[in-house]
C-alpha cells in the first residue's frame, strides 16, 4: 500500500488485503487516530474520491481501486510513543488463546473496549495493530461490551473475516457466556424466545427492550450453580446465544425477573451498590466459550476462557452452592 503523506494529497491503491472493505472502514483503518466525524466530513464533501469519482461511506472497495485522500490535519498528531505504550498496556491485559495464519482468539479482560471511539483513544484492535505494525490486516470478527470479559476473535485475512461473518449469520457459531443473576432459578434448562427492539431515550441513550414487534432473539439458559438459601437467592447460569442482538442476555434476564449482577443499564441499581460493597465491582458477564469451524480448513475449533480472578473470587465468596453435578 502506498505511504500516506500528511501535508499533501495521497493516492492509495487497494490491494487484496483491503478489497471488500467499506470506504469508511478503510479510511478509519488507514488514518489511525483521525476522528470518525472528520472522516465522514471529507467523504461527504467529495475530498475523498475513488477512481476519480465521489463515493459514499458505504461504497465497497475492489482490488485495484485508487482512493484519493486529502491532506489530513489534526490538532494533535498521533504520538508513536504513546501508541506503543498503549499497545504494551493492552498486552498486559490480553492473552492469545490461539493463533494461525487466518485468525487470533484473544482472552479480553473487562474494562477494555474492543475499539476506540466515544472518548476512548485506543481499543483492543487499535492496540493490537500498534503492537503488530507489519500486519497487513487485522479486523474484529465480532464485539464484546467494554465490561464483558472473555473470548474475542480477530481476523488476519479478508477472506477469513468474510467466512466468519457468514458463519455468524448462519448460526454456525456456538457462543456461551457465564452470568450471575438474582432470583430463585429452578429450571435446569430454559429456552427463551423473546423479540427485542432497540430504541433511544429522550436523553439520547441507546437501549433495548422486549417487544413483540422487535427482532427475533433466542437464548438458552442452563443452570450451573444456585444459592437458593441466600438473601437474595442467586444463580450462576450458562447463556447460549442463538442470535446476537444488542444486550440480548441482559434484556432477557431482566424481563424474566432475574437481573444480571452489576448491570448498570438494565439491572437493579440498589442491589448493584450492595454487590460493589461485597466485592463485585463490575457486571458479571463473561464470554466463556466459542466454537466454530475454521474459516479456511473447516477444522472444528473451540476456545475457552475461565472465569477471571475477580468473578471467580466473588463466586467463591458466596460459599457452597447447589451444582448440577450434585443434583445428578
Task: Please give the positions annotated as active site.
Answer: 145
Length of the chain: 328
- Inter-helix orientation angle 124-131/80-93, to 10°: 110
Q: Which three cell numbers stand for residue 39?
A: 472522516
Backbone φ and ψ of 210, nearest 5° = -75, 130
DSSP assignment of 26-76 equals: HHHHHSTT--HHHHHHHHHTT-SEETTEE--TTPBP-TT-EEEE-----SS
Backbone φ and ψ of 304, nearest 5° = -125, 140
DSSP element (H, E) containing 207: strand 206-210
- Closest to 7 (Cα-Cα) out of 57, 77, 65, 100: 77
Q: CA-CA distance, 241 to 217, in Å (whole number)? A: 9
Q: CA-CA distance, 315 to 265, in Å (whole number)? A: 22
CA 304-307-308 angle, 5° bins: 115
CA 247-164-27 angle, 5° bins: 80
Amino acid at each position: 500500500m502506498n505511504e500516506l503523506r500528511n501535508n499533501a494529497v495521497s493516492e492509495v491503491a487497494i490491494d487484496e488485503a483491503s478489497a471488500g472493505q467499506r470506504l469508511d472502514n478503510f479510511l478509519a483503518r488507514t488514518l489511525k487516530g483521525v476522528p470518525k466525524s472528520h472522516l465522514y466530513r471529507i467523504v461527504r464533501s467529495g475530498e475523498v474520491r475513488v477512481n476519480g469519482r465521489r463515493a459514499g461511506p458505504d461504497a465497497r472497495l475492489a482490488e485495484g481501486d485508487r482512493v484519493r485522500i486529502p491532506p489530513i490535519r489534526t490538532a494533535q498528531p498521533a504520538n508513536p510513543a504513546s501508541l506503543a505504550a498503549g499497545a504494551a498496556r493492552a498486552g498486559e491485559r490480553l492473552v492469545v488463546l490461539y493463533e494461525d495464519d487466518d485468525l487470533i482468539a484473544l482472552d479480553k479482560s473487562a474494562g477494555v473496549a474492543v475499539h476506540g471511539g466515544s472518548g476512548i483513544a485506543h481499543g483492543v484492535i487499535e492496540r493490537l495493530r500498534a503492537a503488530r505494525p507489519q500486519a497487513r490486516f487485522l479486523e474484529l470478527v465480532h464485539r464484546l461490551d467494554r465490561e464483558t470479559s472473555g473470548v474475542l476473535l480477530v481476523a488476519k485475512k479478508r477472506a477469513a473475516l468474510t467466512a466468519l461473518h457468514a458463519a455468524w449469520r448462519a448460526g454456525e457459531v456456538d457462543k456461551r457466556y457465564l452470568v450471575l443473576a438474582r432470583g430463585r432459578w429452578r429450571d435446569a434448562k430454559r429456552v427463551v424466545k423473546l423479540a427485542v427492539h432497540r430504541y433511544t431515550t429522550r436523553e439520547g441513550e441507546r437501549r433495548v427492550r422486549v417487544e413483540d414487534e422487535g427482532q427475533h432473539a433466542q437464548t438458552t439458559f442452563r443452570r450451573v450453580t444456585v444459592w437458593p438459601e441466600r438473601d437474595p437467592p442467586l444463580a450462576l447460569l450458562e447463556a447460549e446465544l442463538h442470535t446476537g442482538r444488542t444486550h440480548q442476555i441482559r434484556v432477557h434476564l431482566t424481563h424474566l425477573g432475574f437481573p444480571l449482577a452489576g448491570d448498570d443499564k438494565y439491572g437493579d441499581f440498589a442491589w448493584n451498590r450492595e454487590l460493589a460493597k461485597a466485592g463485585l465491582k463490575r457486571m458479571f458477564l463473561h464470554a466463556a466459550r466459542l466454537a466454530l469451524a475454521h474459516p479456511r480448513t473447516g477444522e472444528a475449533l473451540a476456545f475457552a476462557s475461565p472465569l477471571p480472578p475477580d468473578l471467580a473470587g466473588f463466586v467463591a465468596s458466596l460459599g457452597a452452592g447447589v451444582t448440577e453435578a450434585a443434583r445428578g
